[in-house]
Structure formats: C-alpha cells, structure tokens
Amino acid sequence: MSVAFAPAGMAPRQARVLDTMLVAQERLVAGFEGVEADATAEEASSAGAEEGGGPRRFGDHGWLRPAGGGGRARVIEDGLVFERGGVNVSAVVGERVPPTLAAQHPGTEGRPWFATGVSLVLHPRNPHVPAFHANFRYFEVGAAAADAGAEPLAWWFGGGADLTPAYPVAEDVRAFHGALSGWCARHPQADYPAWKAACDAYFTVRHRGEMRGVGGVFFDELTSHGDAGRSFVADLACVEDGIATLLPAYLPLVARHRRDPYGERERRWQALRRGRYVEFNLVYDRGTLFGLQTGGHIEAILMSMPPLAGWAFDHQPAPGGPEAAALAFYQPRDWAQGGADADPVDHHWRTA
Amino acid sequence: MSVAFAPAGMAPRQARVLDTMLVAQERLVAGFEGVEADATAEEASSAGAEEGGGPRRFGDHGWLRPAGGGGRARVIEDGLVFERGGVNVSAVVGERVPPTLAAQHPGTEGRPWFATGVSLVLHPRNPHVPAFHANFRYFEVGAAAADAGAEPLAWWFGGGADLTPAYPVAEDVRAFHGALSGWCARHPQADYPAWKAACDAYFTVRHRGEMRGVGGVFFDELTSHGDAGRSFVADLACVEDGIATLLPAYLPLVARHRRDPYGERERRWQALRRGRYVEFNLVYDRGTLFGLQTGGHIEAILMSMPPLAGWAFDHQPAPGGPEAAALAFYQPRDWAQGGADADPVDHHWRTA
C-alpha cells in the first residue's frame, strides 16, 4: 500500500511491516463497521440516533510528523455500538535513536531509527460489552532509511491485547484468553504464560492495586535469534497471526452482549470503571506518556480516552451485586487453564 | 483544635499551622454548605434531587497514615450546586526527608520532616459556574517532632488558587484576579505578578499548549528572611489572609452564574473541559503524582477528579460560538491591570 505519511526511502523490510499494519487497520475497521451495520433499531435508539440515520462509519484522519513520517487515525464517535474508539497506524523515523533505547542496545547510539505500529481501542456503549485494546508495533535501529541493503543493528516487535469489561463474565474471559493462548501455541517464540503475566503486571492501576480489566497478553522486544532474515520472517508471521486473532477473540463477546439490557445504574458503573481506565492511561501507560512528552499527535494518542469517565469518593459497590462481583475479576487469575482458580464468583449474583 | 490524625508530639509551630488549616477547612466547608443551602427548587430539580430532600452536606472522612499523621477529607458529591468537590486537610510526618527535597536544602539530609496543608476543589454542576481549586501548605525539615524547642533547619509555605471556567466571562476573571492581587498587595513577601506568571506556567496542559483555566496565583518555598520567628509569623499571616480571600474571590462568581440557563450543549462542553482538567491532574500535577507514588490516601488525592469528564476526537467548537470564545481565555493574559490586552474577545459572542 502507498500512503501519504510513509517516511521517504523506507528499506524493504520497513515497507513490509508498514504494509502489515495498514492491511490490519483496513480489516479491523471493516470488522468493527460490520458490527455497527448490524445495529438494531433498539441499539440505534439507545445511541440517540435519529430514525433512518444509518450505520456509523469510522472517520479518516491523516497526520504528518514534522520530523518524519506520520499516521492515519480511523476514529468512530457516537457509534450505535461503539461509543468511541479507533484504529490508528503510524510510521515514524528519526535520525538518532533516543538515548534510553540506545542504552538497552549497545552500539546503536546516534543511529537512525524507524517505528511503525497499529493500535486500537474500543469503548462500547452497552456496559455489558467489554472495552478492548490491542497494539502491535515494530522498531528498528541502525539502518539509515536510504541504506536499503543493510541489516538493521537491532529490531524487535512488541504488542498485546487486553480486555476491560465493566461486568466481567468468566466464560467470556476464558474465551478471550483461550483465543490468545491458541495464537501463542502456534508460534514457538510466543509464550502465553509469560506474556499473560506481563499483561497482568503492565495493565495494573498501581495506586489502587487492581488491574484495569481482565488482562490478555503483552510482549516486547520480540526478536528471535538465529538466521536474521529467517527469524524476522517468523516473528512477523507471529505478529500477523496475532493481529488476525483480534476479531475472532473480541467480536463474539460483542455479539453476545450488545443487546443485554442496561440502565442508569450500569452506565454509572461503566463510567467509574472508565475513570480507572483514564487513571491507568494518563499515569502509567508508556505509549501515552512517551507520545505526550515527545510531541506526538495528541488526538491520535488520546484516541484511547473513553467518551465519558466518572469519579466518586471511595465508591463501594453494593454487597452481593454484580459490581461487587466484578471487582474480584480485576486481579491476576489463571484463565486459559480453566482450573478451579478461574471461577470463584462466577454467576453467583445472576441467580440471586 | 485536637484531631485524631494529628501526628504525635508536634512542635508548637507545627500545631499552630495545623490549627490554621483546620480552621480554614471548617470555614470553607461552612461557606460552600451555605451555597448548597441557598439552592432553589429549580437548582434541586436540575440536580435530580427529590422534592423536599433538603440541602446537601459535606461528608466527613478521617484517614490515618501508617507512617505517621493522616487527614480529614470533607467531600460533597451530587450536591445541588456542587456536583463534586471537597476540602481536605492533612498533616503528615516522616523520619527522613525525601532525597529530592534534601538536595534543595543542604544540611537537611536524613532529618525528620513535617507537612500540613489544606486543599479544595469544586466542580459545580452548572457549566456557567467556574470550577475552583486552591491549596495552602507548610513544610518543615529538621526539627524532630519531640524536639519542641528547636528551630527547624528549613521551613516554607506554598499555595495558590486558580479558576477553571468552561464559559469564561472577562469581568469574572478580572474580579477573581483582582481579589488575589489585592491579597498580595497587603503583604510585602507576596508578589502577584510573579505568582500569577507561575500559576499560568504551572496549570498548563503542556501537550495541548493551553492552560486548564484562567489561572490565579501559585507560589512555593515562601520563607521570609530576617528574624526567623518574626518572619514565620509574617508568612503565616500572609497565608491566613490568602485563605481568607478564597470565599470572597469565588462565591460572588457562584452567585452570579448558578442560575444561568444551560442544556445538553453546555454540559457536553463542560465535560470536554473537565477532560482537560483530568489530563492536567494525572499527567502533570506534582501533588497528585507525589501522592500516588508515595502511597497517599487515594480517595483524598483524587478528590480533585470531576464527577464526569469527556473526550472527543479533535473537537473544534463552532466558529463564533461561546465555546470558541472560551478557548481564547486559556492563554496567559494580564487580568489584574484591566488593560486592553485583557479583553480581546469579551462578550462579542453575547451580542451576536
């Protein structure tokens, strides 16, 4: 694919990964627009849509970075199913690798770098549909953009996906983790238990001692050893398969809950959980802080913010209710094994 | 005053400042509860209050800090006028001054420290009533709590007040700055132009290049030279006069706008401006980050969060409307002098 923001003179490998990200963006947006197109009249009415307004589409916002590269943000707001969300692709370059990264990769000091990635965040309107985040990225240091034949000094992939339900249901969480665990099982360089533990640790709102949701997987610095060209191809294949896992992991949960009834009470709890999401993203999320500190494209970075978030003093959910049951889910738990550990509170409130 | 959370064995000067903070809290809460008590039936109805529900009061939440000291948070939620807000007092001690502070005050390394302060945040329901924040604090290093006779090695006051209107009106901003400027004029150690400039710089959402509101004053490390005992008394008097300035600076603005009509459009704009407020507090505010990182009382720290905050992609207010006019206010401007610089856009949209 050719895009206006692509950095000039990308090496073939860089162009190849950017292409992966652009194809991913197209497919993901198509998948989510399909969800919007299936909205019933009742969903449209909940969304405050006027009769006959038709399904909502993702907008298309290109942006350029003065120092090189740019991105394309596909954003939906006020959708019938997705209240706010987006799928963003960027590809950026620099002449000198940031010092903190160079320190981790000796020999790369002062060399040019290239980064590209796709990230998505979805905040559904219905409080029973989980919010969803995923991100896959590629970083390369050392080969000048024009120096097309050279191997980079260092390269790696990173990424992950995590689920944030306001009203978690154990079978959904197991299905989501099962899809990610299945993806990892298909690639020797992927390590579900380690990546799941990294996700639990990363997406924790540390000042509250709770996860923002029910986790997923998170990995960084994936760069397989062995023949450089071959391991790059294998790692890219692993990432592409991870991207292909996103819709099958998430869309069934949307389908299962998009028509669940809800009212003011559920919207209020959703707003409070979104407040925790905001706390995590603005206080701890490395990508967000790196973007804000380095003059990234603010609106694309803060695409992750929910449409509405709430705070209340020392909120304590009513004992025995679904909100109290939800809290037990926001701690690390073994989801893929389906062991007894994974289901201590499931549904007991549903039969109450 | 005697409070349960007061650190054991405070020196007389420490007890004196804590007393100032506690008296301030009582008077401020009484002032704001008076505003709630004056609510009309229409205001109660906007707040969703049931008929005859009576005025809303500030709750009372004491907390203790395992390492010493604690606080008292007076919080209002779902008030008729104040949708969320609070007035918090804390007094905390430690055995060894934090290294970053010691570096700024040579000779204090490893010595005990004491800190107390009062802070308030109010998020009114009516989008035409500005949000308000103020904070006054005292820090002391070097005198052990039990060592009642000794002069501390270092002590200083800090504080400030700032206004965050979603729909700024120039005469209100001038009146607010005028009250603060008048306070400063009564004390030789206070410097309105410098403190106003510090406030503009501090309360800036740097990644957006805009202030969160229309500023006020901000000062730190106020410790007058000269006879130590006398300068402490003078600086405390300056702070107490600053605290006494808060209600007269703010309540007239509440009275002027609490019955202004508003609808969905104004609530939406208010939510977006509150989103910027959240961005500032979670990304930049030193007090918030210090509190979160050092295991402070989370709910008292995040008392500053609005009840509801919103985000929208690249929101651009309609040209010529009051929201577009508001944006021009969120840049540093000379308010106390009343010069031509201070009024470039005032009211032009009101006569449109």
Token code pair at residue B57: 């009061």
Say if residues B298 and A207 touch (Cβ distance below 8 Å): yes
Token code pair at residue A78: 């006020």
Q: How far, in whole angstroms, is CA B18 from its chain's centroid?
A: 17
**What pLDDT is stored for residue B108 in this prediction?**
87
Adjacent-strand bridge partners of B140: B114, B155
The letter for the amino acid at A173 is V
Q: Does residue B133 have an active-site annotation?
A: yes
B145 pLDDT more than 70: no
Helix (H, G, I), strand (E, B) or coil at B88: strand
B312 to A77: CB separation less than 8 angstroms, yes or no: yes
B84 to A303: CB separation less than 8 angstroms, yes or no: no
**What pLDDT is stored for residue B349 in this prediction?**
35
Strand ranges, E, within B13-65: 59-64
pLDDT tens-digit profile of A4-34? Answer: 899 988 999 999 999 999 999 999 999 999 9
Pairing state between β B82-94 and B69-77: antiparallel
Helix or strand (DSSP H, E) at B280: helix B264-283
Total-model pTM = 0.92
B279 to A279: CB separation less than 8 angstroms, yes or no: no
Distance, in Å, from the CA atom of A288 to the CA atom of A301, rounded to the nearest integer, reads: 6
Nearest CA in chain B to A297: B207
Single out the catalytic residue among A105, A123, A128, A133.
A133
Residue with tokens 């549904």: A347
Nearest CA in chain A to B268: A308
Helix (H, G, I), strand (E, B) or coil at B123: strand
Give A277 or B40, the one with higher predicted confidence.
Answer: A277
Nearest CA in chain B to A308: B310
Q: Select from A215, A192, A219 the least CA-distant residue to A205.
A: A215
B311 to A305: CB separation less than 8 angstroms, yes or no: yes
Q: Please, what is the average pLDDT of chain B?
A: 90
Q: What are phi and psi of B74, to 5 degrees?
A: -105, 115
Q: How far away is chain A from the Cα of B109, in angstroms, using its nearest Cα?
A: 27
Say if residues B274 and B310 touch (Cβ distance below 8 Å): yes
Question: Which residues of chain B lie closer than 8 angstroms to A302, CB-CB?
Answer: 279, 311
A311 to B84: CB separation less than 8 angstroms, yes or no: yes
Helix (H, G, I), strand (E, B) or coil at B182: helix
- CB under 8 Å to B278, separation ≥6 — which residues? A278, A282, A309, B305, B306, B309
The letter for the amino acid at A90 is S
Sign of the alpha-carbon dihedral angle for B100, B104, B110, B112: negative
Q: How far away is chain A from the Cα of B60, in angstroms, using its nearest Cα?
A: 11
User: Is B208 an 8 Å CB contact of chain A?
Assistant: yes
Q: Select from B215, B223, B170 the least CA-distant residue to B194.
A: B215
Question: Which residues of chain A lie closer than 8 angstroms to B302, CB-CB?
Answer: 279, 311
**What pLDDT is stored for residue B137 in this prediction?**
96
Question: Which residues of chain B lie closer than 8 angstroms to A307, CB-CB?
Answer: 310-312
Q: Which of B77, B275, B314 is nearest residue A299 as measured by Cβ atoms?
A: B314
Q: What are phi and psi of A93, to 5 degrees?
A: -135, 160
**What pLDDT is stored for residue A48 in this prediction?**
81
Q: Select from A151, A184, A76 the least CA-distant residue to A120.
A: A76
Residue from A63, A299, A314, A315 to probe the interface with B (highest B Cβ count within 10 Å): A314
**What pLDDT is stored for residue A347 in this prediction?**
35
What residue ranges of chain A have pLDDT lower than 70? 1, 50-54, 143-150, 226-229, 338-352
Sign of the alpha-carbon dihedral angle for A208, A213, A217, A220: negative
Strand ranges, E, within B257-342: 308-310
Q: A139 vs B247, B274, B336, CA distance in Å?
A: 54, 35, 51
**What pLDDT is stored for residue A301 in this prediction?**
94
Helix or strand (DSSP H, E) at A308: strand A308-310
Say if residues A119 and A91 touch (Cβ distance below 8 Å): no
Residue from B121, B313, B315 to probe the interface with A (highest A Cβ count within 10 Å): B313
Say if residues B288 and B304 touch (Cβ distance below 8 Å): yes
Of A20-24, B25-29, B60-64, the range with the lowest mean pLDDT is: B60-64
pLDDT category of residue B52 using cuts at 50, 70 and 90: low
pLDDT tens-digit profile of B242-263? Answer: 999 999 999 999 999 999 999 9
B207 pLDDT more than 90: yes
**What pLDDT is stored for residue A52 in this prediction?**
60
Pairing state between β A82-94 and A69-77: antiparallel
B308 to A313: CB separation less than 8 angstroms, yes or no: no
Give A273 or B151, the one with higher predicted confidence.
Answer: A273
pLDDT tens-digit profile of B263-293? Answer: 999 999 999 999 999 999 999 999 898 888 8
Question: Which residues of chain A lie closer than 8 angstroms to B303, CB-CB?
Answer: 313
**% of chain B exceeding 70 in pLDDT:** 90
Count other C-beta atoms under 10 Å from residue A5's C-beta: 18
User: Is B50 an 8 Å CB contact of chain A?
Assistant: no
**What pLDDT is stored for residue B238 in this prediction?**
97
Nearest CA in chain B to A207: B292
Count other C-beta atoms under 10 Å from residue A234's C-beta: 16
Question: Which residues of chain A lie closer than 8 angstroms to B271, CB-CB?
Answer: 308
Sign of the alpha-carbon dihedral angle for B293, B298, B303, B306: positive
User: Is B77 an 8 Å CB contact of chain A?
Assistant: yes
Long-range CB pairs of B149-152 (<8 Å, 24+ gap) are B150/B11, B151/B228, B152/B11, B152/B13
